[in-house]
Amino acid sequence: MTAADRTAFITGLRMLADALDRNPAIPMPYEGSSATSPLDFGLLHQVSGGEDFAAVVRSLGGTRWHQEIRRSADGAYTWLDVTGRIAGLWVKVSATADRVCEPVPPQPVIKRTCPALDAVIAEAGTGSAS
């Protein structure tokens, strides 16, 4: 995404928020309305480690962050999903677990830890770091 694309996207989000605010008859979008349908920030290749990932979550602000390790059905891929709220908007930040987490022996694929993210969740004070 170019800088111009990013600017246009952000402008579009502001215009959408303004339209929703001015027109209560417009139905709310499904994405972002609940923890099961959050607005998704898929950072699959945009972060290089746990500190980068945690910095994105910290920059978003919000509260009630919850992290979860998710695996593909065939077990070939593992992701870290962090879901939380920014005011009334649910968001999810995702990345490939191998990029942002450290394996916890003796279960290198199933259990992982992300110390930088644990600190962000603890700072929010209301989330779960499990």
- Are residues 26 and 48 both part of a single domain? no
Query: pLDDT for 65-124, tens place per residue?
Result: 888 888 888 888 888 899 999 999 999 999 888 888 876 665 544 556 676 666 655 555
Statement to judge: residues 113 and 76 lie in one domain: yes
**CB atoms near residue 121 (< 10 Å):** 23
Q: Is residue 81 part of a domain?
A: yes
> How many angstroms separate the CA atoms of 26 and 19, rounded?
8
Which tens digits make up the pLDDT trace of 31-62? 999 989 999 988 867 777 888 888 888 899 87
Tokens of 125: 């004070």
| Within-domain flag for 130 | no
Separation of CA 115 from chain center: 16
pTM of the complete model: 0.74
Six-digit token string for 108? 């290198």
Residue of 35, 50, 51, 41 lying closest to 83 (CA atoms) = 35
Whether residue 69 sits in one domain with residue 6: no
Domain containing residue 37: 31-124
* Pair (11, 63) in one structural domain: no
Token code pair at residue 87: 């005011």
The residue ranges of DSSP E strands in the chain, in sequence order, are: 39-42, 63-71, 78-86, 89-96, 102-104, 107-113
